Structure 1
Amino acid sequence: APTEPATRRPLRFDISSVDLADVRARVKDDANGVNGEILLKSLRSGRLADKVESPVKLVLLVDLKAPAVKGELSGDTRLLLDLDTSSLSLRDMSLGFKGDLPSASAIDAVLNGSLAWDGAKSAIDAQNLNARVSATLGGIKLTDSTLVIDRFAFDAPHKLLSLRKLKARVNGSQVGHPLSLDLDWPELTVSGDKLAASAFSGAVSRGGDMPFEAHFKSGAPSGNFDALRLPNIEAQITSRATQRKLDGTLHADLTLKPGQRALSWVVSGQLDTNTFATDGAMTLSGGTPHIAAKARFDALDLNRLLPPASGAAAKPAAPAADTPVDLAGLRSVNGQFSVQAGSFAYQQYRVNDARFAATLDAGVLRVTELKGKAWGGQVDMSAVADARASRVTVKGSAAGVNVNALIKDVAAKDWIEGTGRVTLDVDTAGHSVNEMKSHLKGSASLQVRDGAIKGINLAKAMRETRAAISMRQDAAQKASQTEKTDFSELSATFQINDGVARNKDLDLKSPFLRLSGEGAIDVGRGRLDYVTRATLASTAKGQGGAELAALKGLTVPVRLAGPFESLEWKIEWSAVVADAVASQLKDKLGQQLGLKPAAGAASSASPQDALRNKLKGLFK
């Protein structure tokens, strides 16, 4: 008969004392993504044994490359182990940490109090906690912020949640402007169906050019451990500044489900005359938090709600500068999200009837709907951002848009005018902006009507280059925002690979010329190189007049090249002259070899005379 598996017995040990110094360990755990070094500078303790309390004092240095953790953990406590239940308690604890974590830097934190963990019940009981923290979290710098809790206990099997005398005082700054948060919650204790709780209250404020203040409070909690309701939360928001004056109200009802580690909310409010509402739920029971949320706004103007960018951030980056791209934050939460706004504004972007819908799962953000009315037309996009491969995919179109306004907002370039359609289907990967530019691939297309190419007036340039023709010289000029070449239709398609968009079917039509050509736009290096062929089709008034009549039907190569910031146009008259001479020489040779019959008087003309006949009126 098969034997029954032996019952797992807890580890037993009894150590009279520990005194260690300068113990170094190299840690590499590919499965959990841990890599780095740990130095136990010192560890001293009394007797370590089951259910025996002992003093412990340590200094531990951590230098991990993954996750990025570097700093010193030091302190002392009285340690009690319960090996049967995998439990421990830390009494009279005084711990400190100085260093950096993945989400924070320049941390200086101290924690005092007592903490007990029951491994059998997954229950925690903390008393007389007093924490002080200074740190930098993104653009927020905390200075001597404190959290005091008389008691916090959570025991799901016994349906117990207790929070007594919580006082939070957050002090710091955001982009150099003072920031503060105060929160007081005298009591929240629920045991099964029994509840002893009071309302909470607090305030948050920010100074600077766009200050704001908000005072909030709640009603008395109700319900039980399975569904604990925090009703009638109200907040009054005010902002008085030169750039904005803002008044708002917020009303919320929250429901906590401690046993399921879940929270749901219904929030509504008003900012000035614009109403908003949101509802959703968050679950913390799995390994990764899950959020399902919806939000609706009459108008959402983030330029009024968010502080302006700092002066340093507003300055253009040096040519060699690069910006890191880190999508790791997408792994921190899963969920479904949707936002609707009658109007939306952020920095230079303005969108009406904006709709956004997305899912986030295992580090992959899928934007299934991103649409709205912008730049005078309709935008419909979708996108995927994958933190696992640091890859981004964008697909969509913008129809009936002001192409000049679109390119100005998106690329900060003023190259083209007109109304039309833009399509895009691209993806890229990398860990910086420049790396993503250089890895860009996919396709794009552009159709524009009733517009203009900015930088050169081809009719004017050809009219002014008669001397260049006779001297067989090219005419070059820097792109000028005061000059432009009008067109009635323009179309082009692009194939993109390794950050270079190549086009072979440029087609431009206007009353006085036809323009075709091919070229490349190097997004990664910020350069453009195009060779077009301009054929004069007409000499309508205002487009060159009689001085261009002699060029009707002539095809002229026009090159556009250089860095985005300093493009140069060049009309290659030397190629026109060379091609004409070569053509006449070819005809003459053919006649002499008997391959082509002479054409009357034309056969007796020299190549130079033939060219002059073709370009009559331009040579003096």
Structure 2
Amino acid sequence: MKFVKWLGIGLGGIVALLGLIIAIITFGFDPNAYKDDITRYVKDNQQRTLTIPGKLHLSFYPKLGIQVGALSLSEFNSDAVFASVAGATVSVELLPLLSKQVVVDRVQVDGLSASIVRGKDGRFNFDDFVTPVTTPEAPAADAPQASAPAFRLDIDRVKIANASLRYQDRISGTQLAVSQWNLQTGRIADKTPTTLKLSATIDGVQPKAAMRVKFAGGMTMDLDARTVAFAGLAASAQGDLQHGATMLSDLDLAFEAENLQLEPDAMRVAARAVVLLAKGASAGNRFDVKAQLGSLELDGATRRVAADRVVMTASGTRQDDPFVLSLDAPRLSLSPEAASGETITGAVKLAGRQKLDARFALAGVSGNARSFAISSITLDYDAASADSTAVGNVSMALAGNLDTQVFELTQIDGKVKVDNPDIPARTVTLPIHGGVRADLGKGMVRADLRTRFDDSAIEARLAMPTLAPPSFDFDVTIDTLDVDRYRSTATTGASTGASAPAAIGSEPTIDLGALKSLRATGRLRIGALKLSNVRLSQLDVALDAAGGKLQLDPVKASLYGGSMQASAGVDANRNAYRLKSMLSGVQVGPLLKDAADQDILEGKGNVVVDVTTQGTVVSALKRGLDGRVGIRLSDGAIKGINIAERIRKAKSLLGANTGAQAADKSEKTDFSELSLSATVAKGVATSNDLTMASPLLRAKGAGQVDIGANTLDYTIRPKLVATAKGQQGKTYEQLSGIEMPVRIYGALDAPQYKPDYAAAAMSAAKSDIGGRLLEKAGGGKAGGLLGSLLGKEKSEPTTEDAGTSEPVDPKKKARELLKGLFN
């Protein structure tokens, strides 16, 4: 009984003492008297200014708490404000303090405002709190150590209302402002489920952003295991956000999880029943994405990623054309030790102007986190655009190494069938075989592909030596290729008749913009090529493109019994072109017939072309041609006229109409040698040195070809030589030395010929034939006229003749006298 008595007396004394202490503090303690001490402490220890303009209020029962009004804290060693609050209240449980435990009961902050800055040196403006400027001196070794009260987290609720935060990164340029930040929780205690609700508005200058975010769900903390678990989690964000150079507008993002567990120390995240939603627009295109995961595990310590029942769908519009994407992955696991998974399937559908229906599957996933392999990837597709369709399939295998960043597509095997009404063959089927290797560590991609293009077997080595900026290298070999077979008949049909110059503004502009950024080198070899009806063999072309300039050098080929050595260049910076070509031993007749459908010249020989031009339309390129051209042929003919035969038939022709005559394809002027050179200036080729020789005649010529106007005006001056034998040999011998100019003029594709018979008569009159004419003319006016014409003396005219005063045309009279020569 005494024990109970003394225990009752002791407890009563303790209660009385506590009551006395609380009474003394309540009625005798004024916290505002310590405001200067508090601000001085902050100034001395943190080099910051703490301003407390309002009063401090203490409460002792049933909670021990403090309430402040406005309060602000400056930047380090500055008067600029770092953070401020409009009001705050903190309270702790009173009774746990008796057992040296701190249990926070309530935390409420109103009107919090803070400015976070990361300087150019990488330090934040709150680093001095993490690393204090001054460190308290260590107590003496023999000084007693005061034990700090134990802290047990148990907060009845936390409430932050209308807070704002400004963030500036002076290294990256990021500037964000968080406003209307509201946070409200239930009880926060160890292993105790609670609720969490947060909302805020985020505005950004860099990146541009205007987002409203919300977060709500249940939360449980395990302080011993250092984990946080969320249940029924729902987060959302709406607004506009800039990602790189892309502006995402009308965003509606959502994240939901039935369960989400975070283990920061183990770097592990685990979630179940996850749903991701994303809606919005970008550059006029809209998207709506939904992803569902049965479970997801990310383990940073073991570098393991595992996901089950992944289903994703995406829909929207691309350039006003709708699209739908889908992906289904039943199970996928990746770790440093192994990678595995079940078959992944998906589909892509596009509608509108361009249509696509594609299905793909990935099976046989194996490997580990460093390297992996997918033994089978298949793709089937059906595409359509305008009147063209493409149907095909391809299969391949994929292997990759994440450490070396090397990835390979092997065993590529597929085909595509293209149907296009503009292609003369209409349908083309292409098999595809080969492999692709990408070394992202070195920034290189290489592909070795084989295909058969109808009758064409093609082997190609394609590479990108650098990805940024992109550059290309290629080596393509084709055994035979008929390009005309796959071109529209509208582009391959030959023109007929003269071509009128295009009206200004009616021609399409040649756009060389793509060349300005192109960096490429390569080689193209074709065993037999037909292009624009021209046939070449053993074509070998080397290409080099950089700085807006494209060079084809050398260009080698065999064609029409001869060979070609050429080089060509294009300068996209100036819209300039250059061609230098040497044709050796070429049969020009078949070449002209195939290239231009012209049958006006035949022979074998050499052609040299060295020209430049500049312009943005074809007509300007023709008018801008400058350079030189040379031709030397042997054993050929000029078709459309037989000059020797025209001279031989001068007897009947002298009395006939001597106007222009169209070319007669049945006639030709043979030659054993023909050569000419021409200078080209502003689209006009001028030649003054044509020479031609044959058993019957010798000829020289001069004139011009206007390439821009597609016309020519050229005069050939042939002379017969007395070397012909046979039935007509005597006649040719009699006409030896006569020159009969022939003018060739008009459209290049429909030239006209005009022999000058009057000039032939004058030539005949001045030759040895003139003597025979003089004898045949005898005396009289005709003989005197002819003698004057020939420059020879003849008997004086008779009185009758002398009395005639009518003027006489010498050419006309000579022509009349020539008739007598053949009678």
TM bin (shorter chain) = 0.5 to 0.7
Aligned-residue offset at 1:456: 1.3
Aligned to 1:515: 699
Counterpart selection for 1:420 from 580, 605, 609: 605
* Secondary structure in 2 matching 1:299: strand
Q: Aligned in 2, Cα 1:296/1:427: closer, same or farther, shift over 3 Å?
A: same
The one-letter code matched in structure 1 to 2:737 is G
Aligned to 1:48: 203
| 1:279 partnered with 2:461 | yes
CA distance in 2, matches of 1:399, 1:532: 25
The one-letter code matched in structure 2 to 1:216 is V
CA distance in 2, matches of 1:146, 1:520: 64
Aligned-residue offset at 1:364: 0.8
| 1:200 partnered with 2:385 | no
Contact 2:561–2:585 under 8 Å retained in 1 = yes
Within-5 A mapping of 1:195-344 = 195=372, 197=374, 199-203=376-380, 214-224=392-402, 226-236=405-415, 243=425, 249-270=431-452, 275-283=457-465, 285-287=467-469, 289-303=470-484, 307-309=486-488, 311=490, 314=493, 316=495, 319=500, 320=502, 322-344=507-529
CA distance in 1, matches of 2:759, 2:613: 39
CA distance in 1, matches of 2:766, 2:695: 30
| 1:538 partnered with 2:712 | no
Aligned to 1:494: 678
Aligned-residue offset at 1:56: 4.8
Aligned-residue offset at 1:149: 7.4
Aligned-residue offset at 1:557: 1.7
Aligned-residue offset at 1:340: 1.8
Within-5 A mapping of 1:11-90 = 12=175, 48-49=203-204, 53-54=211-212, 55-56=238-239, 76-77=250-251
Q: Aligned in 2, Cα 1:237/1:574: closer, same or farther, shift over 3 Å?
A: same
Counterpart selection for 1:368 from 541, 547, 553: 553
* Secondary structure in 2 matching 1:461: helix
Q: TM-score, normalised by structure 1?
A: 0.68
* Secondary structure in 1 matching 2:749: helix
The one-letter code matched in structure 2 to 1:574 is A
The one-letter code matched in structure 2 to 1:77 is L
| 1:446 partnered with 2:625 | no
Q: Aligned in 2, Cα 1:421/1:78: closer, same or farther, shift over 3 Å?
A: same
The one-letter code matched in structure 1 to 2:543 is A
The one-letter code matched in structure 1 to 2:358 is D
Contact 1:507–1:515 under 8 Å retained in 2 = yes
The one-letter code matched in structure 2 to 1:200 is I
Q: Aligned in 2, Cα 1:439/1:286: closer, same or farther, shift over 3 Å?
A: same
Structure 2 residues not aligned, in runs of 5+: 1-118, 123-169, 181-200, 213-237, 242-246, 255-276, 291-311, 330-343, 771-787, 798-807
* Secondary structure in 2 matching 1:553: coil
Once the two structures are superposed, residues 223-254 of structure 1 have per-residue CA deviations (whole angstroms, 9 ceiling, x without a partner) of 33510111111124568999599776432121
The one-letter code matched in structure 2 to 1:252 is G
The one-letter code matched in structure 2 to 1:182 is A
Once the two structures are superposed, residues 299-351 of structure 1 have per-residue CA deviations (whole angstroms, 9 ceiling, x without a partner) of 334455xx330548748597336343222222242121112222223341322
Aligned-residue offset at 1:298: 2.9
Contact 2:626–2:681 under 8 Å retained in 1 = yes
Q: Aligned in 2, Cα 1:486/1:273: closer, same or farther, shift over 3 Å?
A: closer
CA distance in 2, matches of 1:276, 1:612: 68
| 1:391 partnered with 2:569 | no
* Secondary structure in 1 matching 2:488: coil
More moved, 408-417 vs 441-450: 408-417
Aligned-residue offset at 1:510: 1.2
* Secondary structure in 1 matching 2:397: coil
| 1:356 partnered with 2:541 | yes
Contact 2:689–2:700 under 8 Å retained in 1 = yes
Aligned-residue offset at 1:429: 0.9
Aligned-residue offset at 1:180: 5.7
Contact 1:531–1:559 under 8 Å retained in 2 = yes
The one-letter code matched in structure 1 to 2:669 is T
Aligned to 2:280: 94
Aligned-residue offset at 1:268: 3.3
CA distance in 2, matches of 1:259, 1:617: 95
Contact 1:339–1:356 under 8 Å retained in 2 = yes
* Secondary structure in 1 matching 2:636: strand
Contact 2:211–2:239 under 8 Å retained in 1 = no
Where is the strand percentage greater, Structure 1 or Structure 2? 1
Once the two structures are superposed, residues 568-596 of structure 1 have per-residue CA deviations (whole angstroms, 9 ceiling, x without a partner) of 11111233446778999xxxxxxxxxxx9
Aligned-residue offset at 1:423: 1.0
Aligned to 2:82: none
Q: TM-score, normalised by structure 2?
A: 0.53
Contact 2:463–2:474 under 8 Å retained in 1 = yes
Aligned to 1:28: none
Counterpart selection for 2:358 from 182, 185, 189: 182
* Secondary structure in 2 matching 1:373: strand
Structure 1 residues not aligned, in runs of 5+: 18-45, 59-72, 81-90, 99-108, 115-126, 136-142, 152-163, 585-595
* Secondary structure in 1 matching 2:467: coil
Contact 1:277–1:297 under 8 Å retained in 2 = yes
CA distance in 2, matches of 1:179, 1:274: 29
Aligned-residue offset at 1:144: 5.6
* Secondary structure in 1 matching 2:611: strand
CA RMSD of aligned residues (A): 4.7
Contact 1:133–1:146 under 8 Å retained in 2 = no
Aligned to 1:461: 646
Contact 2:761–2:811 under 8 Å retained in 1 = no
Aligned to 1:155: none
* Secondary structure in 1 matching 2:593: helix
Aligned-residue offset at 1:551: 2.6
* Secondary structure in 2 matching 1:554: coil
Once the two structures are superposed, residues 235-290 of structure 1 have per-residue CA deviations (whole angstroms, 9 ceiling, x without a partner) of 24568999599776432121123344431122234567864422232145333x10
CA distance in 1, matches of 2:811, 2:438: 92
Q: Aligned in 2, Cα 1:332/1:373: closer, same or farther, shift over 3 Å?
A: same
| 1:526 partnered with 2:710 | yes
Q: Aligned in 2, Cα 1:251/1:565: closer, same or farther, shift over 3 Å?
A: closer
Contact 1:348–1:409 under 8 Å retained in 2 = yes
Within-5 A mapping of 1:541-560 = 546-560=730-744
- Identity among equivalent pairs (%): 25
Q: Aligned in 2, Cα 1:408/1:272: closer, same or farther, shift over 3 Å?
A: closer
The one-letter code matched in structure 2 to 1:366 is Q
Q: Aligned in 2, Cα 1:481/1:113: closer, same or farther, shift over 3 Å?
A: farther
CA distance in 1, matches of 2:650, 2:635: 27
The one-letter code matched in structure 2 to 1:76 is D
The one-letter code matched in structure 1 to 2:474 is A
* Secondary structure in 2 matching 1:556: coil
CA distance in 1, matches of 2:323, 2:370: 35
Give 1 or 2 for the bigger CA radius of gyration: 2
CA distance in 2, matches of 1:384, 1:253: 33
CA distance in 2, matches of 1:390, 1:465: 53
CA distance in 1, matches of 2:564, 2:325: 47
Contact 1:183–1:200 under 8 Å retained in 2 = no
Contact 1:551–1:615 under 8 Å retained in 2 = no
Aligned-residue offset at 1:443: 0.8
Q: Aligned in 2, Cα 1:274/1:348: closer, same or farther, shift over 3 Å?
A: closer
Aligned to 1:69: none
Aligned-residue offset at 1:519: 0.7
CA distance in 1, matches of 2:316, 2:523: 37
Once the two structures are superposed, residues 172-217 of structure 1 have per-residue CA deviations (whole angstroms, 9 ceiling, x without a partner) of 89xxxx9867352559999972547564322456899998754211
Aligned-residue offset at 1:380: 1.3
Say which structure, 1 or 2, has more relative contact order (CA 8 Å, 6+ apart): 1
